[in-house]
Chains A and B, each alone.
Chain A
Amino acid sequence: MVAVPVERFEKTGEGFVLLTTVDAIFNWARLSALWPMTFGLACCAIEMMVTVSARTDLDRFGAGVFRASPRQADLMIVAGTVTIKMATRVKRLYEQMPEPKYVISMGSCATCGGPYWDHGYHVLKGVNRVIPVDVYVPGCPPRPEALYEGLLILRENPARTAPVQLQAVPCRPDDGGIEPMGPAEIGHKLKASLGDEKVLDVRADVLEPYIRIAPAALREAAQLLRHDPDLAFDFLMCLSGVDYIGQNEIEVVYHLFSFRHRHRIALKVRVPRDDPRVPTVSDIWRTAEWHEREAYDLLGIVFEGHPDLRRILLPEDWEGFPLRKDYEVQAYYHDIPVPYDIRQDFEKGTWVFEEEVRPA
């Protein structure tokens, strides 16, 4: 649905004279009371909220009534990054809006994928792949006035003025007298408790000192690190996975920190790439629950004993694990094309040249 101005109706000769006039009145009424849907996806939504506030009062043009239901709205401002997971929801919301309905694509991400257009497997490369877009507003994010201009463009308001002329140390609290343990000491303590064969490697001379553990001994080591009064690693800062495709192995890294003793260590576990199975630590550090879901989502590492191991970022029926080195993005997800279409750029963008002059 495109906002058709009155003159264009007359030129196309649609309808009779009376109906054309009625259409004009209807058009005027519709465009003077565009009710947007309450709906924001990312940082652009913050600017959208500012647009409604007192400084740039969107209500001056009758578009300030943000409706909570798509059934009462006739303008969809797609403000922010549309992930593939969100795209199906956006499409459904659009379908729930009554005709006539208009769509403003606000900001880079909604327009073409923005910063994610090249390498983002998870971002919809332009919201026009799922719903028809009437106006594109550039910006990252656009100013409130830029969104305003998009609305005026949608209304084809002649009051729009000409463009502006060109002008040219981490803070560490006091230790309180408690000495933090060095990585070599922590490794030594682990070896004394678990045995030498379970602690595979202790490296203290690197930037991020780490201890490599046999996968079978991970839970034992984690319990010790968490509950031993001298170690007391009460904070799992990060859990991440690394794909070593050359060695056919996948590594899980646990970054640990102790608030009591103010020391830190990284714990590493390596498992075969074909069947990566690591025991869960989500009952030892509660943070690990969604971290492990993320590692499962992006690298396909199965955490045995996890209470709720589902995909967290990508849709549940997504194919493959995107952070694996040999990952190839799927062409379609529920009839939505996923990769960026460079051929369309060449065809519709400026990059249309005769074949013979294009350099080989």
Chain B
Amino acid sequence: MKHWWYRFYYTTRGVLWPLWVGLVNLFRRPVTIQYPHEKPRLFPRSRMMLYNDIDNCIGCLQCARVCPVDCIAIETVKADRDLGVTNTGHKKKLYVTVFDIDEAKCCYCNLCTEVCPTECLVMTPNFEGSVYDRYHLVLRFAKITPEERAEILRKAGGKTAGVTGILARKV
């Protein structure tokens, strides 16, 4: 008889408790973020896709050197005119003719932004970058067009100040 009461108690509790949980959650605010229409609240220092403010870039190649996956390709040419200074007061002595970041290879480690002396390379909270072709994930930040680049290189006699990343590889 005692066992009967035990079983009665546990069975009743086992039936009623889930019902109670369901009832409570019925009136609770849903946790789902309606993603395409509302964005998730990211943390202040979220590390997502890279962005380079090329106007403040001095082409020091430090980001490309520290990059563990070698996804930053930079080419610089010595400037033949005064390019001004960056926001941080560094003098811009080089044309940054190519500044490409392959987002497909980037592993979001934040090393490149830490070494950046002018704080122009930053990690943005932008995480949306899905593409149909993987080569669309190569972000080009240099403002110099291919024609201008050819002109700059011709003036410099084909001599570059620094080449890194995939550009330094032999095909």
Contacts and interface: CB of A to CB of B under 8 A. Distances in A.
Contacts of A56: 32-33, 35, 40
Contacts of A118: 69-70
A76 to B, nearest CB: 15
B131 A139 contact: no
B125 A164 contact: yes
Interface stretch (A16-24, A151-159, A231-239, A316-324): A151-159
A166 B130 contact: no
B35 A350 contact: no
A212 B28 CA distance: 67
A241 interface: no
Nearest to A168: B122
Interface in A114-140: 114-115, 117-118, 126, 128, 133-140
B154 A163 contact: no
Given A161-B36, A359-B158, A108 B128 contact: no
A49 to B, nearest CB: 16
B100 A357 contact: no
Interface in B22-64: 30-37, 39-40, 48-49, 51
A134 B132 contact: yes
A351 B130 contact: no
B154 to A, nearest CB: 7
A148 B100 contact: no
A354 to B, nearest CB: 7
Interface in A165-215: 166-168
A332 interface: no
B35 A342 contact: no
Interface residues of B, number: 57
Contact of A145 (B75, B127, B159): B127
Nearest to B128: A149
A115 B51 CA distance: 19
Given A112-B105, A114-B105, A163 B158 contact: no
| Interface hub of B98, B106, B127, B137 (most chain A Cβ within 10 A) | B127
Given A350-B140, A357-B153, A126 B39 contact: no
Contacts of B166: 342, 345-346, 349, 351
Interface string B141-169: 00000100110011000111001001101
B16 interface: no
Given A117-B105, A349-B166, A360 B138 contact: no
B3 interface: no
B8 interface: no
Given A351-B100, A359-B153, A114 B69 contact: yes
A111 B132 CA distance: 11
Contacts of A128: 134
B146 A57 contact: no
A108 B132 contact: no
Interface string A317-360: 00000000000000000000000001101101111011001011
Contacts of B49: 138
Contact of A57 (B32, B132, B135, B153): B32
Nearest to A341: B171
Contacts of B18: none
B74 to A, nearest CB: 12
A78 to B, nearest CB: 13
A150 interface: yes
B69 A55 contact: no
Contacts of B130: 135-138, 146, 149-150, 153
A197 B84 CA distance: 73
A340 to B, nearest CB: 10
Given A112-B134, A145-B127, A360-B158, A351 B36 contact: no
A128 B129 CA distance: 18
A142 interface: yes
Interface string A45-73: 00000000011110010000000000000
Given A54-B32, A56-B35, A163 B126 contact: yes
Given A118-B69, A166-B51, A349-B138, 11 more contacts: A56-B35, A105-B134, A117-B69, A140-B106, A140-B108, A146-B127, A149-B36, A149-B127, A161-B36, A161-B39, A164-B39
Interface of A: 54-57, 60, 105, 108, 111-115, 117-118, 126, 128, 133-140, 142-143, 145-146, 148-150, 152-153, 157, 159-161, 163-164, 166-168, 342-343, 345-346, 348-351, 353-354, 357, 359-360
6 contacts: A128-B134, A133-B134, A139-B48, A145-B40, A149-B35, A351-B100
